[in-house]
Amino acid sequence: MAATDLERFSNEEKRNLSLGGHVGFDSLPDQLVSKSVTQGFSFNILCVGETGIGKSTLMNTLFNTTFETEEASHYESAVCLRPRTYDLQESNVHLKLTIVDAVGFGDQINKDESYRPIVEYIDTQFENYLQEELKIRRSLFNYHDTRIHVCLYFITPTGHSLKSLDLVTMKKLDSKVNIIPIIAKADTISKSELHKFKIKIMSELVSNGVQIYQFPTDDEAVAEINSVMNAHLPFAVVGSTEEVKVGNKLVRARQYPWGVVQVENESHCDFVKLREMLIRVNMEDLREQTHTRHYELYRRCKLEEMGFKDTDPDSQPFSLQETYETKRKEFLGELQKKEEEMRQMFVNKVKETEAELKEKERELHEKFEHLKRIHQEEKRKVEEKRRELEEEMNAFNRRKVAVETLQSQSLQATSQQPLKKDKDKKNFFSLPSACSITSGRYVN
């Protein structure tokens, strides 16, 4: 088909045609509903708030059940995230609900890093989903999606203002998750104080640029209720699973000596508003926003970090294949560079070691020569000493022979002239005065 034909074809107006009778595609929404119901839904709530603020009680009250809970201690050295998943069923709809508790939040003396484990947990869930998406054999259909759909941020009912920990944490989370701030234990604050507290919280959030989740107003069916509810934020809630008799009805409430706070009484607190907005009206929007806004942002940043782009520097579309090839070349180049660096490093190291060894060898040689010289000197001295001793021994032997000759001569003379004996003996003992014989040894 020629290019001009193609243009004409695509520019052609769509024509509305009426059907002659029932065809059946009006059942598409029903098919979708049926498919979704069979598949079931998942919803993941993150509860952030200080220890004992009423997180577990509110969850039990919201879903009208008793989840597993255990009191957190105030001595955690860092915030840790504890997810628990439950299968719930209402009519024929299955809900896989995960409640993630930020255990130990606000308990550390230094709270600078309190937000970090929460952010890391949210990112890890995004990363797991991205890895599944990038797999060749994906199974997103039955993948257990653990991405956080909503963060219920429990504000302590001080009546003053938000703590810096709250502002910092919400700021760090607002681009990653839908935040719904709630004032916990709202029965502990008076009506007029609560009104002022709500205004103060909202103005602080705005002035610090914290983006909280806004109930959507683009769908006609819920636009009105959602815009009214947006004006009620943050919801002031009371939680209780205790049932108290009011009139002739059993209601969930908190009973005090001075009266009863009914959880589901809209003039007592905003619990019903929260339940309506979170579960009945906007649960699907929260899931959708998580996927299309927060996850999309994470995915984009991650892929850009990995070097993927949609367009090249000339604003031309960049195919995945090209990006991959460019990245591969970059990687191989880098690898080669690293290899060359390592080789050079190895050569230098060998040279260094060689020089060190040579130096050591030279030192050893010098030492050896020195020892050799000493040895020769010693040898020479010993040789000299030996020569001296030999000379002395020869001299001694000569004297010994002379003495013996003299002795024998004198003996002979004695035997011939016994009268001259004493005189000769005297002569014998007056021989060289410097030498004598002691115990057979010659002493000078």
The three-state secondary structure class of 331 is helix
Contact present, 254 and 242 (Cβ < 8 Å):
yes
- CB 262 to ligand GTP: min, Å: 12
> Closer to ligand GTP at the Cβ: 52 or 159?
52
- CB 103 to Mg ion: min, Å: 8
Two tokens, residue 443 = 């002493």
| Residue 106 contacts which entry, Mg ion, ligand GTP, none (Cβ below 5-8 A, type-dependent) | none
What is the CB neighbour count within 10 angstroms for residue 138? 11
| Residue 187 contacts which entry, ligand GTP, Mg ion, none (Cβ below 5-8 A, type-dependent) | ligand GTP
- Segment interacting with Mg ion (CB under 5 A) among 17-25, 51-59, 103-111, 261-269: 51-59
- CB 52 to Mg ion: min, Å: 8
- CB 304 to ligand GTP: min, Å: 38
Beta-ladder partners of 317: 311
| Residue 157 contacts which entry, ligand GTP, Mg ion, none (Cβ below 5-8 A, type-dependent) | none
| Residue 159 contacts which entry, Mg ion, ligand GTP, none (Cβ below 5-8 A, type-dependent) | none
Kind of pairing, strands 249-256 and 179-183? unpaired
Contacts of 227 (CB under 8 A, 6+ apart): 215, 217
Residues 57-76 that bind Mg ion (CB under 5 A): 69
| Residue 54 contacts which entry, ligand GTP, Mg ion, none (Cβ below 5-8 A, type-dependent) | ligand GTP
- CB 271 to ligand GTP: min, Å: 9
> Closer to ligand GTP at the Cβ: 56 or 98?
56
- CB 72 to ligand GTP: min, Å: 4
> Closer to ligand GTP at the Cβ: 55 or 149?
55
- CB 150 to ligand GTP: min, Å: 17
> Closer to ligand GTP at the Cβ: 72 or 170?
72
> Closer to Mg ion at the Cβ: 55 or 252?
55
> Closer to ligand GTP at the Cβ: 130 or 189?
189
- Does residue 56 interact with Mg ion by CB under 5 A? yes
HSE-up (13 A, CA, CB side) for residue 284: 7
Q: How far apart are CA 97 and CA 86, in angstroms?
A: 5
Q: What is the 3-state secondary structure (H, E, C) of 166-207?
A: HHHHHHHHCCCCCEEEEECCHHHCCHHHHHHHHHHHHHHHHH
- CB 66 to ligand GTP: min, Å: 11
Position of minimal CB gap to ligand GTP: 54
Burial-class residue 263 by CB neighbours within 10 Å (0-12, 13-18, 19+): buried
> Closer to ligand GTP at the Cβ: 71 or 218?
71
Q: Binding residues for ligand GTP, per CB under 6 A? A: 51-57, 71-72, 185, 187-188, 238-239, 254
Q: How far apart are CA 86 and CA 189, in angstroms?
A: 33
What is the CB neighbour count within 10 angstroms for residue 213? 21
- CB 105 to ligand GTP: min, Å: 8
Residue 95 sits at φ, ψ, to 5 deg, of -125, 120
Q: Give Cα 408 distance to the centre of its chain.
A: 110
| Residue 57 contacts which entry, Mg ion, ligand GTP, none (Cβ below 5-8 A, type-dependent) | ligand GTP
Closest CA to 149 of 164, 129, 163, 169: 129
Q: How far apart are CA 227 and CA 231, in angstroms?
A: 7
- Tokens 């940043």 identify what position? 301
> Closer to ligand GTP at the Cβ: 222 or 278?
278
Which residues lie near Mg ion (CB under 5 A)?
A: 55-56, 69
